[in-house]
């Protein structure tokens, strides 16, 4: 699996990420979702990228937990294989790691950056 660099925009900032060709569509979709949630958090009154990003992460994590809980209540006759579920969990962990890295990139030690409209 070869790595490539892609450029995305989160919270109005261009960021370069490394990903495989296979995972690029998922990573781009994840970035769109995260960016939308950050914008919603900003619209809700958060005044720093760090706080808006944390609110977005909490919202997405809550949605993930709700989905995982609903999956655990599905019947065993589900059409999704255990291998597919494991693969998706691995992709989610990889995306969470990338979000953590982005959060570190966006953070300034000691003070949140103001959001410039």
Number of domains in the chain: 1
Number of H helices, E strands in the chain: 3, 2
> Is residue 74 one of the residues assigned to a domain?
no
Statement: residue 113 has pLDDT above 60: no
pLDDT at 112: 54
Please check whether residue 13 lies inside any domain of the structure: yes
pLDDT tens per residue across span 48-83: 888 999 999 999 999 999 998 887 766 555 577 788
- Phi then psi for 34, rounded to 5 degrees? -65, -45
Instruction: Determine the structural domain holding residue 8 and report its residue range.
Output: 3-69+82-106
pLDDT band at 117 (very low <50, low <70, confident <90, very high): very low
Lowest mean pLDDT of 14-23, 30-39, 72-81, name the range.
Answer: 72-81
Structural domain includes residue 34: yes
Average pLDDT over residues 36-55: 89
Domain assignment present for residue 102? The answer is yes
Give the CA dihedral 107, 108, 109, 111, nearest 10 degrees: -100
Q: Which pLDDT band holds residue 84 (cuts at 50, 70, 90)?
A: confident
Beta carbons within 8 Å of 9's beta carbon, 6+ residues apart: 15, 31, 35
Q: Which two three-digit tokens encode residue 101? A: 């890295």
Q: What is the mean pLDDT of residues 41-52?
A: 87
Which token pair is 116?
């410039």
Q: Is residue 19 part of a domain?
A: yes
Average pLDDT (15-23) is: 93
Q: What pTM did the predictor assign?
A: 0.61
- Which stretches of 21-81 are DSSP H helices? 24-43, 49-72
Residue 77: inside a domain:
no
């Amino acid at each position: 699996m070869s790595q490539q660099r892609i450029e995305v925009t989160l919270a109005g900032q261009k960021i370069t990420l490394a990903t495989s060709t296979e995972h690029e569509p998922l990573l781009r979709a994840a970035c769109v979702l995260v960016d939308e949630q950050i914008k919603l958090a900003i619209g809700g009154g958060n005044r720093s990228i760090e706080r808006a990003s944390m609110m977005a992460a909490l919202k997405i994590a809550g949605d993930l937990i709700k989905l995982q809980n609903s999956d655990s209540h599905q019947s065993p006759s589900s059409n999704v294989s255990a291998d597919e579920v494991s693969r998706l969990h691995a992709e989610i962990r990889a995306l969470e790691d990338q979000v953590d890295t982005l959060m570190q990139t966006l953070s300034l030690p000691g003070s949140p950056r103001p959001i410039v409209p």
